[in-house]
């Protein structure tokens, strides 16, 4: 039996009949009854998604979103504010001048292209800059100005005359720490007295080091070493503690415990700020342990609206028929730009090659690419240099392209149990029908399982998805009007 992660080319388990799968420091145990069942079924290969890839995907997606959102996104989500003290007056700001920032920081804000606060900044900044300090748990996606908000809070609380670490920010990966540090450096461009240090791999210091930087950003393991082993940071002198990307943090082995250990070293009066794009139960439990008596800012869930998107399905027998149907659709209607979603990298690679043979200008986005490569491809697609983007699920989030008029689900999204992944379906087809425009979504069905998934999607959204005959070019032309 070979155990192979869906996201890698090489089997991860090749140690004969041992019953443990090694994926970095994680072990997947197969019970003897499961092994016996697999042997009886003559299963030669067992695909799965290993813990390491799930974590890597999450962290990479978060970094990608930071890189591609060079300006604020126009979010339609409303912000819900839950105050620690309901009797305290609730106020927000509409301009940065209302915050009475130092002139050096206000110049930094405008230099970064922020003309007025985003929705998250309107509500979060008054809390972050309040005296006495207020703790905050905030939900915020990339592109909403969240990093700039806590960068501004840290820079505002620093006393440049004190040459020791006063603000501490931890991020789940080396790359995310660098990206966040870049924002802090840009924001503090006109405030050169404030210095920044990176507590990340490769930045080796010893006990004799006298750290004079007022702000330190890093990953939990290195920050913990600097606080406890090397003692070059005095945690009792920290006035602001920021924990960014909490949902990615708790998915990474060891980071959750390290973060809690750091937080326990800090003084009671230290301001605690925690940010996360999503808030599953596990994230809430973690946030409550790290941030005492918080104010909470949540995004109200966007209405699950599919009213501006026409949805169809096409019946096929196999992958080749799906490709033929795709070509027929493409030949019959005028498409500004299209996104095509596949379940695996292999299918995405094959489809991209076949479309290129047919003369289409295609961009391929998949998980084995570096984050920098992905960001460059998305930027080219946004600029219209490629008309078709073929992508796997993991790379799809955060991409807003106004010209996308058609979304093709070459493979329908499903969860690990083989059921419909309704949230991903909504997110995928939501790439079209944006900004009030009408969009078109076509789902390729090639098995009983995919038909069952389609039925589950119809039931969940209470919306019938009509059948489309991909050989009837007149019918295809009508649906695009």
Task: Please give the full DSSP string across 293-316, using - where no structure is assigned.
Answer: S-EEEEEPPPP---TTEEEEEEE-
Q: Please report which helix (H) or strand (E) contains residue 394, including its range.
A: none
- Are 294 and 345 within one domain? no
- Are 173 and 319 within one domain? no
Cα of 310 vs its chain's centroid, Å:
27
CATH number of the CATH domain containing 217: 3.40.50.300
Of 73-77, 90-94, 148-152, 239-243, which gets the smallest average pLDDT? 73-77
- Are 7 and 101 within one domain? no
Q: What confidence tier does 96 reach under pLDDT thresholds 50, 70, 90? A: very high
pLDDT score at 12: 42
- What is the chain's mean pLDDT, rounded? 80
Computed over its alpha carbons, how large is the radius of gyration of the chain? 25
**Final residue before a domain boundary, out of 281, 299, 317:** 299
- Are 451 and 401 within one domain? yes
Tens of pLDDT, residue by residue over 130-144, are 988 899 999 876 667
Expressed as residue numbers, the domain containing 395 is 309-479
- Mean pLDDT (whole number) for 335-355: 90
Provide, rounded to the nearest whole percent, the portion of the chain with pLDDT above 90.
41
- Mean pLDDT (whole number) for 304-330: 86
Beta bridge pairs of residue 217: 169, 198
> Helices 103-111 and 174-187, interaxial angle, to 10°?
120
Number of domains in the chain: 3
- Mean pLDDT (whole number) for 401-411: 84
Residue at 304 is within a domain: no
Residue at 55 is within a domain: no
Whether this prediction's pTM lies above 0.85 is answered by no
- Are 129 and 194 within one domain? yes
Helix (H, G, I), strand (E, B) or coil at 217: strand
């Amino acid at each position: 039996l070979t155990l192979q992660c869906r996201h890698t080319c090489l089997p991860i388990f090749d140690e004969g009949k041992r019953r443990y799968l090694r994926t970095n420091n994680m072990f997947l145990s197969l019970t003897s009854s499961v092994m016996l069942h697999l042997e009886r079924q003559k299963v030669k290969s067992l695909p799965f998604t290993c813990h390491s890839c799930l974590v890597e995907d999450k962290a990479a997606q978060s970094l990608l979103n930071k890189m591609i959102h060079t300006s604020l996104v126009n979010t339609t989500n409303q912000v819900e504010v839950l105050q620690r003290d309901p009797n305290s007056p609730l106020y927000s700001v509409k301009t940065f001048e209302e915050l009475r920032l130092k002139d050096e920081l206000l110049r930094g804000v405008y230099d970064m292209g922020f003309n007025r606060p985003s929705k998250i900044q309107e509500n979060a900044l008054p809390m972050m800059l309040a005296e006495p300090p207020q703790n905050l748990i905030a939900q915020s996606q990339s592109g909403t100005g969240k990093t700039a908000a806590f960068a501004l809070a840290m820079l505002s609380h620093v006393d440049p005359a004190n040459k020791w670490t006063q603000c501490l920010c931890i991020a789940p990966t080396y790359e995310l720490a660098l990206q966040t540090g870049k924002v802090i450096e840009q924001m503090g461009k006109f405030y050169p007295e404030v210095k920044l240090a990176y507590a990340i791999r490769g930045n080796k210091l010893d006990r004799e080091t006298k750290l004079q930087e007022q702000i330190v950003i890093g990953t939990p393991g290195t920050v913990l070493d600097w606080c406890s082993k090397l003692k070059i940071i005095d945690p009792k002198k920290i006035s602001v503690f920021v924990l960014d990307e909490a949902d990615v943090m708790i998915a990474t082995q060891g980071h959750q415990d390290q973060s809690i250990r750091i937080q326990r070293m800090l003084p009671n009066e230290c301001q605690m700020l925690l940010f996360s794009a999503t808030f599953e139960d596990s994230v809430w439990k973690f946030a409550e342990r790290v941030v005492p008596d918080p104010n909470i800012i949540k995004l109200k869930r966007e209405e699950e609206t599919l009213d501006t998107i026409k949805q169809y399905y096409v019946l096929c027998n196999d992958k080749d028929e799906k490709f033929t149907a795709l070509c027929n659709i493409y030949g019959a209607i005028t498409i500004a730009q299209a996104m095509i979603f596949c379940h695996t990298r292999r299918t995405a690679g094959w489809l991209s090659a076949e479309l290129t043979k047919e003369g289409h200008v295609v961009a391929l986005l998949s998980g084995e690419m570096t984050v920098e490569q992905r960001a460059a491809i998305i930027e080219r697609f946004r600029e219209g240099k490629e008309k078709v983007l073929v992508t796997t699920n993991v790379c799809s989030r955060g991409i807003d392209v106004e010209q996308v008029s058609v979304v093709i689900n070459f493979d329908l999204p499903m969860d690990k149990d083989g059921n419909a992944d309704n949230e991903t379906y909504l997110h995928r087809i939501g790439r079209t029908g944006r900004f009030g425009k009408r969009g078109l979504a076509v789902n390729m069905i090639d098995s009983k399982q995919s038909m069952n998934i389609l039925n589950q999607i119809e039931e969940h959204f209470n919306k019938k998805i009509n059948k489309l005959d991909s050989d009837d070019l007149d019918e295809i032309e009508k649906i695009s009007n």
